[in-house]
């Protein structure tokens, strides 16, 4: 049997949603309904509704994922979250989802965006979904989705287009606005969203721009939970534990954190009052964002590029290599931590916990998956830390090696001369740079650093940055990523003994 309300009544009634949850009304529209949202914000909202009640059902919007929409519809829009650590697996069935729509179902989406009962429109559209230049944060007015949405606002293709048109309708009809709530991995993500929304609105209409500027708040958030892409093995394992087939399940880790800026223009669930730990509402999210983006996401991406090039498929395999484990922990302690400024958090415990999370064998988190869209991730995961290090004379050789690993990865050819399936909006740009300069690492690095969609001009003004990045890339090209990490560890252990 497939997961459904009726099958839960027979197989595992304890997982059945509560009557009040089933009868609740929609209060949230979520743009970018993927695995992370299902294992994080939707799960938290589901727990809130089970424990506290309220009309906070979620409508999820996907960009073309009709398979997920079909699977959810067949399951009465139920799905399960498998929380795994090594061989243990706990199951939570989520009943907080009203329906799933694809971005092409424009009329249905706008029916919800215009509904006064919808008080929050949240987003997990990944970095590239903001259609902006990561180096500057400015909206990319030449992005094909943005150009389309400015010409035809009533049929948007971008998340920004949906948000602005939904807000504009409420402005014109005197409906209390919703709060746009970004939950993506971007530093000061609320400010990023505010900037692109305002720039988009300004390009559309001066009065709309001013109304949004005067009336809408854009809370910052920090989200943390490792959620790999669901595999067939995950579905089989969760279905066996649940007793019914669940083709829409996600598998994640026990750890979860959500820090939310208390800046809403409409009502919200009191998520922080649930039984789930590590949900905080605060006036200042930035220190939490810096800690997570630099220590977790920065080392995650380091393992993605260097681990993939070294032949490791998953993060757990990568960190199981003692040399990589030493490399990552040393980079955390000596290169990244000096740039993290947060009160009330034991950073040593946090880093210990990160290593333990990476070692979790239940999560088959592919290095290839984390390596996606590097042009959108590198500025906040590597470059902000490296800028701080250059300004404060901090040794950054591990981060140079990781950044060189990214440059080597986007060449599209691995160390065994096999093709890499590079997924990145700037894939063609990178391929052209490699084709033009592959025989000359100095020119290659100079050309990469000149890509202003990734690198702030700050870095072109620091010859030391280009020189050390070139040296790291030369080493990877000469002896490979794995041996480069091994040699780095050997050199740093030798220095530590003297």
Q: What is the pLDDT along the chain (498 residues), one digit of tens a residue?
A: 899 999 987 656 678 888 889 899 999 999 999 999 999 999 999 999 999 999 999 999 999 878 999 999 999 999 999 999 888 999 999 999 999 999 999 999 999 999 999 999 999 999 999 999 988 899 999 999 999 999 999 999 999 999 999 999 999 999 999 999 999 998 899 999 999 999 999 999 999 999 999 999 999 999 999 999 999 999 999 999 999 999 999 999 999 999 999 999 999 999 999 999 999 999 999 999 999 999 999 999 999 999 999 999 999 999 999 999 999 999 999 999 999 999 989 999 999 999 999 999 988 899 999 999 999 999 999 999 999 999 999 999 999 999 999 999 999 999 999 999 999 999 999 999 999 999 999 999 999 999 999 999 999 999 999 999 999 999 999 999 999 999 999 999 876 655
The CA–CA distances, whole Å, from 165 to 168, 212, 269, 291 equal 5, 11, 24, 34
User: Rounded distance, CA 259 to CA 224, Å?
Assistant: 9
Tokens encoding 249: 């399940």
Rounded to 10 degrees, what is the CA torsion of 214, 106, 100, 251? -70
**pLDDT recorded at residue 363:** 87
**pLDDT recorded at residue 12:** 66
Residues 11-44 as b or e (16 or more Cβ within 10 Å = b): bbeebbbeeebeebebbbbbbbbbbbbbbbbbbb
Determine which helix (DSSP H) or strand (DSSP E) holds 194, and give its type and residue range.
Answer: helix 189-204
Domain ranges, ordered by start, for the chain: 5-282, 286-496
H helix runs in 5-131, sequence order: 5-11, 19-22, 35-39, 41-52, 66-74, 106-113
Does the domain at 5-282 match CATH 3.40.50.720? Answer given as yes
- Domain 286-496 class? mainly alpha
Tokens encoding 68: 């997920």
Tell me 366's DSSP state: B
Strand ranges for 213-276 from DSSP E = 221-224, 250-252, 257-261
**pLDDT recorded at residue 450:** 96
**pLDDT recorded at residue 86:** 86
User: Rounded distance, CA 30 to CA 20, Å?
Assistant: 21
70 contact partners, CB below 8 Å, separation of at least 6: none
Tokens encoding 359: 């070692």
Tell me 254's DSSP state: S
382: helix, coil or strand? Answer: helix
**pLDDT recorded at residue 18:** 86
- Whole-structure pTM value: 0.89
Tokens 């064998």 locate to 361
The answer to whether the beta carbons of residues 419 and 413 sit under 8 Å apart is: yes
**pLDDT recorded at residue 451:** 96
């Amino acid at each position: 049997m497939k997961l459904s309300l009726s099958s839960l009544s027979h197989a595992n009634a304890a997982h059945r949603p509560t009557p009040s949850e089933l009868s609740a009304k929609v209060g949230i529209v979520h743009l970018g309904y993927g695995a992370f949202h299902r294992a994080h914000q939707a799960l938290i909202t589901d727990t809130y509704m089970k424990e506290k009640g309220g009309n906070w059902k979620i409508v999820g919007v996907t960009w073309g994922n009709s398979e997920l929409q079909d699977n959810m519809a067949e399951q009465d829009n139920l799905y399960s979250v498998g929380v795994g650590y090594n061989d243990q697996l706990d199951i939570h069935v989520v009943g907080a989802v009203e329906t799933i729509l694809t971005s092409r179902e424009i009329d249905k989406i706008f029916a919800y965006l215009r509904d006064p009962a919808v008080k929050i429109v949240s987003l997990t559209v990944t970095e590239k979904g903001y259609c902006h230049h990561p180096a500057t944060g400015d909206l990319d007015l030449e992005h094909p989705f943005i150009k389309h949405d400015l010409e035809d606002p009533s049929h948007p293709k971008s998340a920004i287009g949906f948000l602005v048109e939904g807000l504009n309708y409420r402005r014109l009809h005197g409906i209390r606005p919703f709060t746009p709530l970004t939950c993506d991995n971007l530093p000061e993500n609320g400010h990023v969203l505010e900037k692109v929304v305002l720039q988009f609105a300004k390009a559309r209409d001066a009065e709309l721009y001013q109304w949004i500027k005067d009336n809408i708040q854009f809370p910052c958030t920090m989200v943390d939970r490792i959620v790999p892409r669901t595999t067939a093995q995950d579905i089989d394992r969760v279905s066996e534990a649940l007793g019914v087939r669940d083709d829409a399940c996600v598998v994640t880790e026990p750890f979860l954190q959500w820090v939310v800026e208390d800046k809403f223009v409409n009502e919200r669930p009191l998520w922080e009052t649930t039984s789930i730990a590590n949900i905080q509402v605060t006036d200042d999210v930035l220190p939490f964002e810096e800690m997570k983006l630099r220590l977790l996401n920065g080392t995650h991406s380091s393992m993605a590029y260097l681990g993939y090039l070294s032949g490791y498929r998953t993060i757990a395999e990568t960190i199981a290599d003692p040399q990589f484990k030493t490399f990552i922990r040393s980079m955390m302690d000596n290169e990244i931590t000096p740039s993290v400024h947060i009160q009330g958090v034991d950073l040593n415990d946090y880093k210990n916990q990160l290593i333990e999370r990476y070692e979790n064998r239940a999560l088959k988190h592919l290095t290839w998956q984390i390596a996606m869209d590097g042009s959108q991730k590198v500025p906040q995961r590597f470059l902000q830390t490296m800028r701080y290090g250059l300004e404060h004379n901090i040794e950054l050789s591990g981060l140079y090696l990781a950044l060189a690993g990214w440059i080597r990865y986007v060449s599209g050819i691995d160390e065994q001369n096999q093709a890499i399936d590079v997924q990145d909006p700037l894939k063609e740009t990178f391929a052209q740079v490699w084709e033009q300069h592959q025989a000359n690492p100095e020119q290659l690095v100079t050309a990469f650093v000149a890509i202003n969609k990734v690198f702030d001009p700050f870095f072109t003004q620091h010859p030391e940055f280009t020189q050390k990045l070139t040296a790291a890339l030369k080493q990877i090209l000469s002896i490979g990523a794995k041996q480069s990490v091994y040699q780095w560890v050997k050199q740093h252990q030798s220095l530590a003994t003297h």
